[in-house]
Amino acid sequence: MVKIGEGIEVREELIKKACNLAMEAHNLSPEKPYIYKKINGSTDVVFAFAGTLSFDGWYSNTSFGETEINTTLFPSLRSVGTDEVAKVNEAFARRFQDILDKSSLKNEVEKAMSKGRHVVFAGHSSGGAIAILAALWCLECCRTRPEGDMLVHLYCMTFGSPLVGNKIWSHALRRENWARYFIHFVMKYDIVPRMMLAPLSSIQELLQAISPFINPKSQYYQRDAVARSSNALNFFMTVMRNASSAASYAACNLKGCTNLLLETVSNIVQLSPYIPFGTYIFCTGNRKLVVVENPDAVLQLLFYSSQLSSEAEAAVVVARSLNDHLLYTNEMQDSLEMQDVIHLNNLTDIPLSSNVDPSDEVASMNSALNDLGLSTRARLCLRAAGEWEKQKKKNEEKIEQNKSSIRDALSKIQEYQTKCDIHKVGYYDAFKIQNTDDDFNANVKRHELAGIWNEIIEMLKRYELPDSFEGQKDWIELGTQFRRQVEPLDIANYYRHLKNEDSGPYLIRGRPKRYRFTQRWLEHFDKVHAGARSESCFWAEVEELRNKPFAQVQNKILSLETAANGWIQSSLLGDDVFFPESTYTKWWKTLPTQHKQTSWVSRKITP
């Protein structure tokens, strides 16, 4: 067994079989886009996707070929808080959609999963990109089903795959705890996993010129002449120059650089949107495997592990940058037999010097890093990635300390609500009037909670918390409790000060991000329709409707009453809505008699 990550082990034979099938898939005809193979003597099945070397199979018309992902097919690939949609390579997404629509893939995968098979999606080169999308599609399907344990029966293995998605993509997969299902093997000099770091305009002609040399169906396949080709050299140097820009910019951010020049450069230089995700296994070329899970560290390794140590080795490295892409079958055979696997889990402990005492506990790690050709600068960048990961965890620990303060403040708000109910004045209306010390104290707690949650939301917006934070059930529940109890007070304060007259309706102009974020958390993880009407905004809708002529808003009133009925049945709205002196009751009594006679609300409000 090869230990890939915490609690994840994969059989060597399965990796070898997936690799063999991924390479074999290149020989398929265009009508057959993948191989479906049941592995004898096991419950494993492999779907191996064919790659393509046609230019439109790699790039679309934008600088880096990216587009927003289809959220109907991949609803989880977005930032829950900011609602920003992930970017994906458009050509890969289009090709996968075509396979899904025109082949038997969907039926074959569903049949295998229903039988409890261990499904492996595999691909070499651009076939790896299709395998990634297929695995994600499968995970999305599993997410909507009650049999959640099916998720552990899935892997995606790629060999020399290009990058596919952006930062939101990587963030979403770590949030959903799906990144662990993706295992990417990368040869030290293979240029294809780095290729998407260069814009289309810089490599289009070069890629078209060299593609015949790495196309198994071409008469020029694997010809030695490619090593001497100026096109190959220019292609390699162009890709690595852009990789340098991407890695350097990312490293500066990891190290906390605040120089305004950095932002200026990013506005001038085209930087690739693509970011690694999942577990990367770098093949050093000396039968060692280096396992890295930190996406920031992987980006640095993609650049630094392919550096030239001298101009004299340029021809050899350029040749290997293309040849390595075709040698994964042999590499898997040799490296997996050696079982020399190094895990870069503690990035901050990476030795900065290439010279380490052989008896030192980090000697084996250092040997692997030397095999990858990592300089001191490269090691510093890896350490920076580790430090940033640690800082995120420290930020989370700091936020965790606020939980008791949040719960105490919410308890006080609940006491305030209960006290108001006793006096038959709903806490919304009591807070809006602000006549007592209790109202003042509730306002103090509202401000305390706003400060805590605003800090959390800003950290999430800047990605200063672990990606898994948004997926933590206790925080989702606490955020929902906060929104439901406190947002009515914010609405009361908004309309008490007539802010709607200056700024506009609360729902459009006044709703704070802390409530929008926490609502989207619940919608995402409870699989509620995104953008659904929120029970915590009931009073905001009432305030806007009651100041408009009935004929103008009749349909909206009926819609609100229908929603309110459901919220009351679910105990999301209380009977304080119908107290005699509530804003809602007073307004409802002014509605036309014909409407009131047909409304269910008449059973709640005494004429």
At residue 408 the predicted structure's pLDDT band, cuts being 50, 70 and 90, is very high
Residue predicted with more confidence, 395 or 345? 395
Q: Comparing C-alpha atoms, which of 372, 427, 374 is closest to residue 577? A: 427
What separation in angstroms does the CA of 40 have from each of 13, 17, 45, 110, 383? 11, 11, 9, 20, 44
CA dihedral 354, 357, 362, 363 (to 10 degrees): 70
Q: What is the pLDDT of residue 119?
A: 94
Q: Which H helix or E strand runs over 465? A: none
Q: Which amino acid is at 94?
A: R
Residue range 244-286, pLDDT digits in tens = 999 999 999 888 776 666 666 666 778 999 999 999 999 998 8
Q: What is the pLDDT of residue 169?
A: 94
Q: What is the pLDDT of residue 149?
A: 45
Q: Residue ranges of the domains in the chain?
A: 2-201+238-343, 389-605
Contact present, 280 and 291 (Cβ < 8 Å): yes
Q: What is the mean pLDDT of residues 169-184?
A: 94
Answer yes or no: 325 catalytic.
Answer: yes
Cα–Cα dist 370/367, whole Å: 5
The answer, yes or no, to whether residue 90 has pLDDT greater than 90, is yes
CA dihedral 370, 363, 13, 217 (to 10 degrees): 0
Q: What is the pLDDT of residue 447?
A: 97
Q: Which CATH architecture best describes the domain 2-201+238-343? A: 3-Layer(aba) Sandwich (3.40)
Q: Is the dihedral of CA 332, 336, 338, 343 positive or negative?
A: positive
Residue range 445-458, pLDDT digits in tens = 999 999 999 999 99
- Lookup: tokens for 281: 């296994």
The answer, yes or no, to whether residue 84 has pLDDT greater than 70, is yes
Q: What is the pLDDT of residue 227?
A: 45
At residue 148 the predicted structure's pLDDT band, cuts being 50, 70 and 90, is very low
Contact present, 46 and 21 (Cβ < 8 Å): yes
Q: Comparing C-alpha atoms, which of 464, 155, 137, 148 is closest to residue 279? A: 155
- The active-site residue, picked from 76, 125, 126, 321, is 125
Q: Kindly give, in sequence order, each residue whose CB lies less than 8 Å from that of residue 475, ignoring residues fewer than 6 positions away.
A: 469, 521
Q: Kindly give, in sequence order, each residue whose CB lies less than 8 Å from that of residue 451, ignoring residues fewer than 6 positions away.
A: none
The answer, yes or no, to whether residue 111 has pLDDT greater than 80, is yes
The string of DSSP codes covering 124-140 is: ETHHHHHHHHHHHHHHH
The answer, yes or no, to whether residue 221 has pLDDT greater than 60, is no
Residue range 547-576, pLDDT digits in tens = 899 999 999 999 999 999 999 999 999 989
Cα–Cα dist 251/256, whole Å: 9
Q: What is the pLDDT of residue 446?
A: 97
Contact present, 1 and 12 (Cβ < 8 Å): yes
- The active-site residue, picked from 190, 371, 439, 576, is 190
Residue predicted with more confidence, 146 or 442? 442
Answer yes or no: 190 catalytic.
Answer: yes
Q: What is the pLDDT of residue 360?
A: 64
Cα–Cα dist 418/424, whole Å: 10
Cα–Cα dist 20/332, whole Å: 9
Lowest mean pLDDT among 13-22, 164-173, 309-318, 547-556: 309-318
Q: Kindly give, in sequence order, each residue whose CB lies less than 8 Å from that of residue 123, ignoring residues fewer than 6 positions away.
A: 22, 25, 48, 49, 50, 51, 129, 130, 131, 132, 158, 159, 161
The answer, yes or no, to whether residue 381 has pLDDT greater than 60, is yes
Mean pLDDT of the chain: 88
- Lookup: tokens for 123: 């691909």
Q: Which amino acid is at 528?
A: V
Q: What is the mean pLDDT of residues 210-238?
A: 68
- The active-site residue, picked from 26, 171, 325, 524, is 325
Q: What is the pLDDT of residue 260?
A: 63
